[in-house]
Structure 1
Amino acid sequence: MASQPAHERARLLHDIADGIAAEQEQLAYLLAQENGKPITQTRGEVAAAIRIFNGLAGEATRVFGRQIPLDAVPGLEKHLAVTIREPLGVVAALVPFNYPVELYAHKAGAALAAGNAVIVQPPQKCPLALHRIAEIVNNAGAPEHAHQLVNGGPEISQGLAESAKIAAISLTGSTRAGKEIAKRAGLKKVLLELGGNDALIVCADADIERAAEAVVLGRLARGNGQICCAVKRVYVQDPVHDEFVDALLAQTAKLVVGDQLDERTDVGPLITESAAEQVEQAVQQLKSDGAKERTNGKRRNAFFEPAVLTDVPTNSSAFNDEIFGPVAPVARFKEPEDATRMASESPYGLQAAVWTRDISRAFTMARQLDVGGVIVNGSTALRAENLPFGGTKDTGGYREGIHDTVADLTSQKTIIVMDAFQ
């Protein structure tokens, strides 16, 4: 891979994108079958992967170095310094179950764009779509062994992290998994995008119906609630609290829970029955701590009915932990600074959302929030491939995106030409 010129890497990535596009519907169907997300959403995920590969093809031709003026240093006026970027070597890409095709594209595609070889560990619970895409990559003409998949559980990811032959490791997953990988990785480069407990803050001057819709679409009906950047905590200012809850309940009641292959379905099964049981336990903990459940929120095997809870105590452990399922806990606040303080007290710092018509208030609150991204008048469940995505604190500190990751998967070398000038 390292010997491939930029135009060949770009051609390879474009051909991979074209190969995925030729099987877009089949891949979306396969992903829905094994993952549980509604087919209407897996189509969007496969479409995102196509865009990512095409975008990374462009980035492969823009791996830039710099010319650094040495005449800034007395005595070095006649010399010339340039930097070049070189691939790291072999990159390990550890892919999660919730958005495997999209996040695979970010990791494996960026590694190839930078001239690295890549070893991909697909999610243990839903690897099939990535195995088919691996065949597409090979058919597109990737050099032999430059792109490989290896199946397995934690022993595989931990072994890759410890291997001296791996130059960098990229993981999207839980904070617990990220800490374990970082501990085992030693001095190799580690790119971590970990857990989140994203807050959505509704101020008194917000558009209430649209804010409620942002919670429904950004938490209850997107990825079955299994998204790191989903709306996981809702803070509503006292004067509009009841109005917001009424709107949220009315919209939640319209959601269709069922077969993920049915075009009408909004919420499918969680990845496993044990995952649904964990969500059920978290809801019970919220209720034990004093929250009121306003919906059925019942579990049926791996299905979990979307749940809305109010009067949630902000010191509840379940409220402060990441609930990975279709649950919307709603708490109150008095002043905007109270909401930003409570939102920032979380050990996670992925994204947050602020709903207000006051642009000055929006920017002020955005500055106060200790997170990696703030969405004004929208849902936290937003990721565009050309933006840096990641967060602070236990979210990992890294930012992933097509412009950032390619550069991060290279090393910088300085070349100095002595007496280049008369």
Structure 2
Amino acid sequence: MQPVPFHVAGRPATGAEPLSVHHPYDGREIGRTSYASPDQVEAAVAAAAAVADRAAALPAYVRAEALAHVSRRLAERAEEVARLITAESGKPIRWARVEVTRAISVFRWAAEEARRFSGDLQRLDTDPAGQGRIAVVRRVPRGPILGITPFNFPLNLVAHKVAPALAVGAPIVVKPAPKTPLSALLLGELLAEVTEPDGPGSGLPAGMFSVLPVPNDRAGELVADPRLPVVSFTGSGPVGAAIRRAAPDKHVTLELGGNAAAVICADWASDADLSWAAERIATFGNYQAGQSCIAVQRVLVHEWLYDGFLPRLVAAVAALRTGDPADEATDVGPLIDEDAARRVESWVDEAVAAGAAVEVGGRRAGTSFAPTVLTGVPPDSRVQTEEVFGPVLVVAPVPDEAAAFAAVNDSAYGLQAGVFTHNLQTAFAAHRALRVGGVIVGDVPSYRADQMPYGGVKGSGVGREGVRSAMEDYTEPRVMVLTGLDL
């Protein structure tokens, strides 16, 4: 099995330290690459810093055409890429295909935004002192970016770092998760196709991107490097907090964990309503084996509806098919490794020992954990207060919407929430009251459109992703005032 090269300043490279990638479902080796050496990391960072001014000056059409090329090539290789995602992350193939489709869209959106990211004009003659003056406000890259990505979306969350960076003309060094580097390396291969294939001026400058497998215990050197003034991290809260402490003078964006809640309001009362909500919550509490920061974890049901809703949810969860993620019929695959599955098991066992009831699931087999519904969970249990990042739903009745919204807010996290209601007043009340980054009305909190602002408050992070939002985060305004004009 030949090692897959990584990319240093747009060029393929290999290192001396091997990195084997194993399938989470059965443990077999599915690919090999290597870790970048310190010298290769230095070469990548130095190249990004050296090319920053040239990258910022790239014409919009060059950036847009490069991004559109990647979008097209992902579409051409969609099934191959989906199967790679499944092999390295354990994600069921049906959901891996969705991830590829989303990444195609991210690069397409970035190509479009690159052409219209133009700044604005401000009249300054709103006061006498500004007569004859106008301001041109443009956004310019803050500098080279360090993008650190997690294992659970090994392609699309890399796309959400890379595509906005290239759209604004900022070099980027990507450190993918060591457990799932291969999708990112394939993306680097596609980017290499538009790295000045016909010499200077024909594509992206060679130093504009690098994709470097780096051990997690060496990532701190990249975070601290002053030549990378922007750090964009997606991952766990403790690591994100450590990055902020380590880089107080940098522009740091963090997309961290969640403890996503779905609220079933009193007006969501018909059989069709309850069945829809049960199916959606069952699916999106478990679709990544719960390994999504907006997977449903807490379910708050109006007490009038609780007895009618809970059996529907239990039946919907029980109907989910678990097994080999390469099987077209599989709904729920394994967790990323056995340590993750054992942690979920220990948290569920802890809640049960404290009085919680297992309505369905609750069993571990190797790296897999059966989709689980818990009731009667004590409020201080970790499955209630922390991010489970596993296929576990905690269900509880609430007396009214105000109590439900208070329960949603009683969390260290604030990423997204779902509110099942037909009432417009209730929807706006939720949007006003809930301390989260996004409120999804009539559906689960797991909905995300890749172009919309996405991110959270409290322990869920700082800054926003989504193509346009990330472009703004990666840039800063620069003002030019023109004087002596007849406006």
Letter matched to residue 19 of structure 1: R
CA contact (8 A) 1:196 1:228 kept: yes
Please show how residues 184-195 of structure 1 align to structure 2 within 5 Å: 184-195=246-257
Does the CA contact (< 8 Å) of 1:63 and 1:407 recur in 2?
A: no
2: CA distance, partners of 1:11 / 1:362 = 41
Q: Is 399-408 or 340-349 further displaced after alignment?
A: 399-408
CA shift, 1:250, in A, is 1.0
Structure 1 75/203 Cα, relative in aligned 2: closer, same or farther at 3 Å? Answer: closer
SS of the residue corresponding to residue 480 of structure 2 reads strand
Q: Structure 1 residue 153: deviation in Å? A: 3.1
Contact 1:314 1:331 in 2 (8 A): no
Counterpart position of 1:56: 110
Conservation of the 8 A alpha-carbon contact between 1:94 and 1:170: yes
Instruction: Specify which of 217, 222, 227 is matched with residue 283 of structure 2.
Output: 217
User: In structure 1, what residue type is equivalent to 2:227?
Assistant: K
Measure, in 2, the Cα distance between the counterparts of 1:252 and 1:15. Answer: 40
User: 230-239 or 50-59, which moves further after superposition?
Assistant: 230-239
* Maintained 8 Å contact 1:53/1:105: yes
Kept in 2, the 8 Å contact 1:203–1:355? The answer is yes
Partners of 2:297 and 2:334 lie apart in 1 by 18
What does residue 346 of structure 1 align with?
A: 411
Equivalent pairs counted in the alignment come to 421
- Of 52, 59, 76, 1:5 maps to 59
Q: Which residue, 199, 203, 209 being the options, matches 2:261?
A: 199
TM-score by length of 1: 0.96
In 2, Cα distance between the equivalents of 1:227 and 1:307? 16
Kept after mapping to 1: 8 A contact 2:463/2:473: no
The percent of aligned pairs where both chains have the same amino acid is 38
- Confirm or deny: 8 A CA contact 1:256 1:264 kept in the other structure: yes
1:39 aligns with 2:93: yes
1:20 aligns with 2:74: yes
CA distance in structure 1 between the aligned counterparts of 2:263 and 2:121, rounded to whole angstroms: 46
8 Å CA contact 2:334–2:369 kept in 1: the answer is yes
**Alignment partners' CA distance in 2, 1:416 and 1:355:** 49
Shift of 1:285: 1.7
Judge which range, 179-188 or 323-332, deviates more. 179-188
Q: Does the aligned pair in 1 maintain the 2:283–2:317 contact within 8 Å?
A: no
User: Which consecutive unaligned segments of at least 5 residues does structure 2 have?
Assistant: 1-54, 196-203
Q: 5 Å matches for 1:295-314? A: 295-314=360-379
User: Which segment drifts farther, 230-239 or 412-421?
Assistant: 412-421
- Give how far 1:74 is off: 3.1
Gaps of 5+ in 1: none
Q: Aligned to 1:247, what secondary structure does the other structure show? A: helix
Aligned partner letter, 1:217: T
Output aligned runs, 1:232-251, within 5 Å.
232-251=297-316
Aligned CA RMSD, in angstroms, stands at: 1.5
Question: Do the aligned residues in 2 keep the contact of 1:200 with 1:353 (CA within 8 Å)?
Answer: yes
Local SS of the residue matching 1:239: coil
- Asked if 2 retains the 8 angstrom alpha-carbon contact of 1:120 and 1:149, the reply is yes
Q: Do the aligned partners of 1:351 and 1:391 also contact (CA within 8 Å) in 2?
A: yes
Instruction: Tell me the equivalent position of 2:188.
Output: 134
AA aligned to 1:170 is S
2:11 — aligned with what? none
Deviation at 1:357, TM superposition (A): 3.0
Counterpart of 2:310 in 1: which secondary structure?
helix
| Structure 1 residue 288 corresponds to structure 2 residue 353 | yes
